[in-house]
């Protein structure tokens, strides 16, 4: 069997009920229809979808066969999450986050053993990008309708543009930066056509224009900074450094020109004594570091930061950490922080291994190669944006992790089959 035939055989693998339930879960997780429609209010739709995945998984005779060092790290993280919950300042506050994170781990193991071929990975990724595009284009339309003006607090302030995390402009910005890199690289590496005429790279091109504009409309400084870092990441990966630098400067100049003067003033005040937001976040970070230093092994417990800050440290701030790393270290101690960093580094290692295998085995697959680069930039965007907001247990990072592990498994399994032939 030739390399191309082996890859094509994986592309034609049939789609099973477990995969469709996985798509249903993805839609529910990102759209939150129970928050949009009163008739669905109170229904545990995500749990129903997860149960559907599990039941279909069992009836299809699937097994947890895909191994990865990420699996071990994630299980260790779950174990330490449990230990920190037991020793939490207030266990009642830690119980529900423990259950929620257990669901994340279950979804991880299910999806990484369902997204086992390129076709499934492609469709799943497309739905993820489409869901983000749905909200992004709506945000851009609002921005245009406001004569290209966005209030310093974000045009989504109040009503929002959707449900769940999309209602919060800062959370929405993180969501966009978590898929931006994938959309960018797939412009060049996704050669698929729909209905034999619509090139998918057109969709990615429209998305890569829409996502940054929607991030601009959030008025989130963290989102803008993450977009800038993502652009630097793309430039760093580029082989045409001079051309890339010129293009980068043009993009940066155009983006800055679109920022209203009153909003741009917030960027100038960033980090100064006049910037109350920055000062309060610095205080929140210091409190989180103090908790980690005083309780280095288990932290104060999941979802216990505000409780500990007010009850134990007598702080008047009723806010969370606004930093995913401070969130991990304050709630789970330094072991939790180290495990989180290792999981993130593991994603970069996975993506690099994908490119090495594709090159060494001469597997001519532009989509898988481009996706590995896109996941690098998406993770870079999430990490940068996550430095200013508490979104560690939102689906953004865990979707990147699932895609990264699934991608590596697909490429590795394909390479192993080629060696057998």
pLDDT at res. 398: 97
What's the rounded mean pLDDT across residues 314-343? 94
pTM for this model (two decimals): 0.93
pLDDT at res. 158: 41
Q: Is pLDDT of 346 > 50?
A: yes
CB atoms under 10 Å from CB of 100, counted, come to 13
Highest mean pLDDT out of 155-169, 176-190, 215-229: 176-190
Q: Is pLDDT of 187 > 80?
A: yes
Q: What digits encode the pLDDT tens for the residues 11-22?
A: 556 789 999 999
- 268 vs 284, residue with greater confidence: 284
Instruction: Find the length of the chain.
Output: 421
- Band (66; pLDDT cuts 50, 70, 90): confident
Residue closest to 360 by CA, chosen among 416, 402, 296, 320 = 416
- Band (154; pLDDT cuts 50, 70, 90): low
pLDDT at res. 255: 87
Q: What digits encode the pLDDT tens for the residues 49-62?
A: 999 999 999 999 88
Quote the radius of gyration of the chain (alpha carbons, Å): 22
- Band (278; pLDDT cuts 50, 70, 90): confident
- 67 vs 334, residue with greater confidence: 334
Where along the chain do its domains lie?
A: 3-420
Q: What digits encode the pLDDT tens for the residues 80-105?
A: 999 999 999 999 999 999 999 999 99
% of the chain beyond a pLDDT of 70: 92
pLDDT at res. 11: 53
Q: Match 């545990």 to its residue by tokens.
A: 44
Q: Please give the distance of CA 354 from its chain centroid, rounded to a whole number.
A: 19
Least confident of 146-150, 371-375, 396-400: 146-150
Q: Is pLDDT of 308 > 80?
A: yes
Q: Report the alpha-carbon distance of residue 158 to residue 145 in Å, rounded.
A: 17
- The CA distances from residue 23 to 31, 39, 121, in Å, are 12, 22, 11
pLDDT at res. 195: 82
pLDDT at res. 3: 55
- 267 vs 363, residue with greater confidence: 363
- Band (37; pLDDT cuts 50, 70, 90): confident
């Amino acid at each position: 069997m030739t390399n191309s035939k082996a890859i094509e055989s994986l592309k034609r693998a049939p789609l099973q009920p477990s995969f469709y339930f996985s798509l249903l879960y993805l839609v529910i997780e990102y759209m939150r229809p129970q928050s949009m429609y009163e008739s669905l209010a109170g229904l545990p739709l995500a749990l129903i979808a997860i149960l559907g995945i599990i039941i279909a998984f069992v009836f299809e005779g699937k097994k947890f066969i895909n191994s990865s060092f990420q699996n071990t790290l994630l299980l260790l993280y779950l174990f330490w999450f449990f230990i920190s919950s037991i020793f939490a300042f207030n266990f009642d506050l830690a119980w529900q986050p423990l259950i929620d994170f257990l669901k994340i781990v279950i979804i991880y193991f299910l999806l990484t053993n369902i997204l086992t071929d390129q076709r499934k990975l492609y469709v799943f990724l497309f739905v993820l990008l489409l869901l983000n595009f749905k909200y992004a284009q709506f945000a851009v339309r609002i921005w245009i309708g406001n004569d290209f003006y966005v209030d310093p607090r974000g045009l989504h302030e109040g009503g929002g543009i959707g449900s769940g995390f999309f209602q919060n402009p800062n959370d929405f910005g993180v969501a966009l930066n978590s898929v931006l890199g994938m959309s960018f690289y797939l412009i060049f590496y996704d050669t698929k056509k729909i209905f034999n005429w619509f090139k998918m790279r057109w969709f990615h091109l429209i998305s890569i224009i829409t996502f940054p504009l929607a991030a601009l409309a959030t008025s989130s400084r963290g989102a803008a900074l993450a977009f800038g870092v993502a652009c630097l990441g793309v430039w760093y990966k580029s082989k045409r450094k001079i051309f890339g630098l010129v293009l980068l400067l043009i993009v940066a100049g155009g983006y800055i020109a679109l920022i209203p003067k009153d909003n741009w003033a917030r960027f100038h005040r960033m980090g100064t004594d006049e910037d109350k937001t920055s000062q309060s976040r610095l205080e929140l970070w210091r409190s989180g570091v103090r908790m980690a230093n005083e309780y280095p092994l288990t932290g104060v417990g999941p979802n216990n930061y505000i409780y500990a800050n007010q009850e134990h440290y007598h702080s008047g701030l009723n806010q969370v950490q606004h930093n995913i790393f401070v969130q991990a270290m304050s709630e789970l101690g330094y072991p939790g922080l180290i495990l989180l960093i290792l999981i993130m580094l593991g994603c970069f290692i996975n993506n690099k291994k994908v490119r090495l295998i594709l090159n060494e085995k001469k597997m001519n697959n532009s989509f898988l190669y481009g996706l590995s680069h896109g996941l690098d930039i998406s993770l870079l965007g999430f990490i940068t944006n996550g430095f200013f907001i508490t979104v560690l247990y939102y689906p953004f990072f865990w979707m990147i992790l699932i895609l990264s592990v699934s991608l590596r498994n697909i490429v590795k399994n394909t390479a192993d089959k080629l060696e057998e032939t």
